[in-house]
Amino acid sequence: MALGYLFAVLATLASGSGSILESMGVRRAGAYGGRSLDLIALRRQWLYFLGLGVNLLGFGFASAALHRLPLFLVQSMLAFSIGVTATISAFLGHRLRAPGWGALFVGATGLVLLGVSAEPGRAQALPPHWRWILVGMAVPVAAIAVYARRHHHVWATVALAAGSGVAYSVVGISARTLHLPDTAWRLVLEPAAWAIVLNGLTAAVLFAMALQKGGPTGVSAIMFTTNTALSSFVGLVYLDDRVRDGYVTAATIGFVLAIAGAVAVAHYAADTREKDRTATPAGMRA
């Protein structure tokens, strides 16, 4: 199962770097802080689509990992991709203070504990009607975008980020339970495949709208925390994801440390970015 861990690491790196590229594209398009219709300008921003492509590559790695490892491990590693985002931001000039690097270490320690606690194996199949429910989840999540277009307060950003997390959790659950047919064309008959496509597109739109209203680390923290908590719960309760015998305590501590580390990194990275912005003379700001 070493290949599963490799795929999970590659997915984490791709997800973190893809978020940075998408955020840069949103800002270069002049859509940051504007209206939802301003996102149309993204069609001319190759950086945004490069980031989207990197995230899609990451999703491919994550899907491969999910066929071998439980959701709570893979999704926790994806949540910690916020650490990758913050590290790249630091190299781009947004200095991460000492507590932020400490949070990175805490989160990494949590991932190590999760890694040794997880029991590799395939997921339990979902009943057919639950697969169609996963497809239909794209509708209520998309309704969040309608709400956010009419409201511009901070809770609209939180709703968009959390909604994208819900949609991405559905993508992860669907990928974990996807049955690969003998012939590729039969994938069109798999509800899980449709759930991945529809919820993946919905999540991408909500995530772009959230990036338009908030910073990449804060938005990513909300999205990944929602994604990880929800999908891990479903995996453990309904998909027969398992922890190794005698490692329940280690897995619990690891999960808490991984999520707490990701949220703390987002907090310190966002705080550093805000201080850098306010310290820059008005005439020198882009």
The predicted-structure confidence for 17-76, as pLDDT tens digits, reads as follows 888 887 777 666 665 555 554 556 666 677 778 888 898 899 889 988 988 899 999 988
Residue 249 has pLDDT above 90, yes or no: yes
C-alpha 236/C-alpha 170 separation (Å) is 15
SS (H, E, C) 150-191: HCCCHHHHHHHHHHHHHHHHHHHHHHHHCCCCCCHHHHHHCH
First-to-last C-alpha distance (Å) of the chain: 48
- Within 10 Å of residue 272's Cβ, how many Cβ atoms? 20
Tell me the pLDDT band of 286, cut-offs 50, 70 and 90. very low
C-alpha 45/C-alpha 21 separation (Å) is 10
Phi, psi of 243 (to 5 degrees): -105, 145
71-116 pLDDT per residue, tens: 999 988 888 887 888 788 777 777 777 888 888 899 889 999 999 9
Alpha helix stretches (DSSP H) within the chain: 2-28, 46-66, 71-79, 81-91, 98-117, 128-136, 138-150, 154-177, 191-213, 216-238, 248-279
Q: Is the dihedral of CA 45, 39, 172, 251 positive or negative?
A: positive
198: helix, strand or coil? helix
Give percent of the chain above pLDDT 70. Answer: 84
**CA angle at 94 for the pair 90 and 95, rounded to the nearest 5°:** 70
**pLDDT for the residue numbered 13:** 93
Q: Can you give the pTM of this predicted structure? A: 0.77
C-alpha 221/C-alpha 175 separation (Å) is 22
Cβ contact 114:258 at 8 Å: yes
**pLDDT for the residue numbered 224:** 77
Question: What mean pLDDT do residues 211-229 have?
Answer: 78
**pLDDT for the residue numbered 202:** 93
The amino acid sitting at 105 is F
Tell me the pLDDT band of 284, cut-offs 50, 70 and 90. very low
Question: What mean pLDDT do residues 150-179 have?
Answer: 86
What is the C-alpha R_g of the chain? Answer: 19
Least confident of 128-137, 241-250, 264-273: 264-273
Tell me the pLDDT band of 285, cut-offs 50, 70 and 90. very low
Cβ contact 134:177 at 8 Å: no
**pLDDT for the residue numbered 195:** 92
Average pLDDT across the chain, whole number: 81
Give percent of the chain above pLDDT 90. Answer: 25
C-alpha 83/C-alpha 99 separation (Å) is 13
C-alpha 137/C-alpha 256 separation (Å) is 27
> What residues are paired with 242 via a beta bridge?
119
Residue 7 has pLDDT above 90, yes or no: yes
166-to-19, 44, 76, 90, 127 alpha-carbon distances in Å: 17, 29, 14, 28, 20
C-alpha 173/C-alpha 153 separation (Å) is 31
Q: Is the dihedral of CA 131, 135, 137, 141 positive or negative?
A: positive
- Structure token digits, residue 75: 């999704």
More confident residue, 7 or 280: 7
C-alpha 250/C-alpha 256 separation (Å) is 10
Residue 222 has pLDDT above 90, yes or no: no
